[in-house]
C-alpha cells in the first residue's frame, strides 16, 4: 500500500520500483533498547522514524519530494507512531531481550569436556600422543601432558587453540612426541572449573595416519582399476556377442551345403557374397 501511494505521487507510469521496510532493535550496553524503522525506495534511504520526537525524517534521495508527501500523511493520522511502539519497541525488542537472556543462560552453563587420547606412529621409532578435549563450556580449560605425575614443559608440548564448535561449546588439543614403548608413563590431565580428570594412553597398536595426498592417490588408483576392469569386461562380452552372431548367420548356409552336393553350396556362397556387396 505504501508503494502504491508513492507511485501515485509520480508522473512516470509503467516503471519498475521497489520499497524495502526495515525494522529492528538494538540492546545498548546500559541494557536500554533502541528501535529502528527505515524505508528504502529503489535502494535509497527514503524515510526514518525518530521515536524521541515521534516524527519521520526525510533522507536526501531522488524521491525526496514523494517522501515529504508520505511523511505528512503519516504524521497526520498518528497511526505510524502507535505501530512503532507496538511492533518495534514492544514485539521486536521484547523478543530480542528474551533471546539474549536465554542465550546468556546457555553460554553461562558449565559443560564438562569429552576427552579422547589417540596414538599414532611417527618416524624414527617415535609415536605421537594427542589429547583431544571437545564439547566443553565455558572456554577456560587446562589440558596438559604429564610424565610420571610430573607436568611437561610447554616446549615439549604442541597445543592447539581453543576453538568454538559452533553450538556454544569449544574444542582443543595437546600433542607430544615420545619414544615408542614409553606410552604408559604418560597421562593427559584436563582441568575445568576446579574439576580435574586424568586420561591414560590406551594400550594397543599405534594407528598409522595417512596424509590427505595418500588417501586421494589411493582413491584415484581404485577408480582407475575399477574402470579398467569394466572396459575389459565390456570388450570381452562384445567379442563373444559378435562370435555368436557370426556363427548363427553362417549356420543355415552350412546346412544347405550339406543337404545338396550338386551346386547348392555354391549358390549359398554366392548369395552371402552378394549380400556383403550390397
3-state helix, strand, coil in the chain (%, to 5): 45, 30, 25
pTM for this one?
Answer: 0.40
- Give the per-residue pLDDT at 119: 92
Cα-flanking dihedrals φ and ψ of residue 234, to 5°? -65, -45
Question: Does residue 10 sit in the same domain as residue 101?
Answer: yes
Q: How far apart are CA 176 and CA 162, in angstroms?
A: 17
Can you point out the beta strands (E) in the chain? 19-27, 33-41, 44-50, 55-58, 114-121, 126-136, 142-147, 150-151, 158-159, 163-164, 170-179, 186-192, 195-200
Print the domain residue range for 155. Answer: 114-200
Inform me whether the pLDDT recorded for 235 exceeds 80.
no
pLDDT at res. 29: 75
Are 73 and 126 part of one and the same domain?
no
pLDDT reported for residue 189: 94
**Which has the higher per-residue pLDDT, 194 or 246?**
194
Helix (H) or strand (E) holding 102: helix 93-108
198 has a pLDDT exceeding 60: yes
Compute the average pLDDT of residues 226-231: 65
pLDDT computed for residue 12 by the predictor: 64
pLDDT digits (tens, 9 = 90+) for 161-189: 999 887 778 999 999 999 999 999 999 99
Give the domain CATH number at 191.
2.60.40.10
Residue 265 lies in a domain: no
Interatomic CA distance for residues 71 and 2, integer angstroms: 11
Higher-confidence residue: 222 or 176? Answer: 176
Q: What is the pLDDT of residues 61-97, one digit of tens each?
A: 888 888 888 888 887 776 666 777 777 877 888 888 8
Q: Average model confidence (pLDDT) for the chain?
A: 76
Within this chain, do residues 179 and 134 fall inside the same structural domain, yes or no?
yes
Q: Which of 62, 93, 108 is the last residue of a domain?
A: 108
Same domain, 19 and 66: yes
Do both 94 and 122 map to the same domain?
no
Using the 3D structure, point to which of 88, 108, 128 is the last residue of a domain. 108
d(CA 93, CA 86): 10
Q: Domains in the chain: how many in total?
A: 3
25-61 residue pLDDT tens: 888 878 888 888 899 998 899 888 887 777 888 888 8
For residue 257, tell me if it sits in a domain: no
Give per-residue pLDDT as tens, 84-142: 777 787 788 888 888 877 776 666 677 899 999 999 988 889 999 999 999 998 889 99
Amino acid at each position: 500500500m505504501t508503494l502504491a501511494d508513492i507511485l501515485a505521487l509520480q508522473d512516470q507510469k509503467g516503471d519498475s520500483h521497489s520499497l524495502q521496510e526495515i525494522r529492528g532493535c538494538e540492546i545498548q550496553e546500559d541494557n536500554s533498547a533502541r528501535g529502528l524503522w527505515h524505508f528504502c525506495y529503489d535502494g535509497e534511504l527514503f524515510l526514518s522514524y525518530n521515536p524521541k520526537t515521534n516524527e519521520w525524517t526525510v533522507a536526501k534521495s531522488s524521491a525526496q519530494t514523494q517522501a515529504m508527501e508520505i511523511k505528512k500523511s503519516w504524521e497526520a493520522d498518528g497511526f505510524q507512531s502507535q505501530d512503532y511502539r507496538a511492533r518495534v519497541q514492544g514485539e521486536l525488542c521484547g523478543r530480542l531481550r528474551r533471546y539474549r537472556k536465554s542465550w546468556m543462560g546457555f553460554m553461562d552453563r558449565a559443560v564438562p569436556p569429552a576427552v579422547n587420547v589417540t596414538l599414532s606412529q611417527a618416524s624414527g621409532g617415535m609415536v605421537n600422543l594427542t589429547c583431544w578435549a571437545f564439547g566443553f563450556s565455558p572456554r577456560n580449560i587446562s589440558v596438559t601432558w604429564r610424565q610420571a605425575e610430573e607436568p611437561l614443559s610447554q616446549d615439549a608440548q604442541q597445543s592447539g587453540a581453543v576453538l568454538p564448535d559452533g553450538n556454544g561449546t569449544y574444542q582443543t588439543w595437546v600433542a607430544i612426541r615420545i619414544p615408542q614403548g614409553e606410552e604408559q608413563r604418560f597421562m593427559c590431565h584436563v582441568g575445568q572449573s576446579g574439576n580435574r580428570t586424568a586420561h591414560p594412553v590406551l594400550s594397543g597398536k599405534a594407528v598409522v595416519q595417512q596424509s590427505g595426498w595418500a588417501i586421494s592417490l589411493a582413491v584415484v588408483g581404485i577408480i582407475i582399476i575399477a574402470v579398467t576392469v569394466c572396459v575389459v569386461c565390456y570388450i570381452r562380452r562384445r567379442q563373444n556377442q559378435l562370435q555368436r552372431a557370426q556363427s548363427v548367420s553362417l549356420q543355415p548356409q552350412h546346412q544347405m551345403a550339406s543337404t545338396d552336393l550338386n551346386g547348392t553350396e555354391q549358390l549359398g556362397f554366392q548369395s552371402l557374397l552378394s549380400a556383403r556387396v550390397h
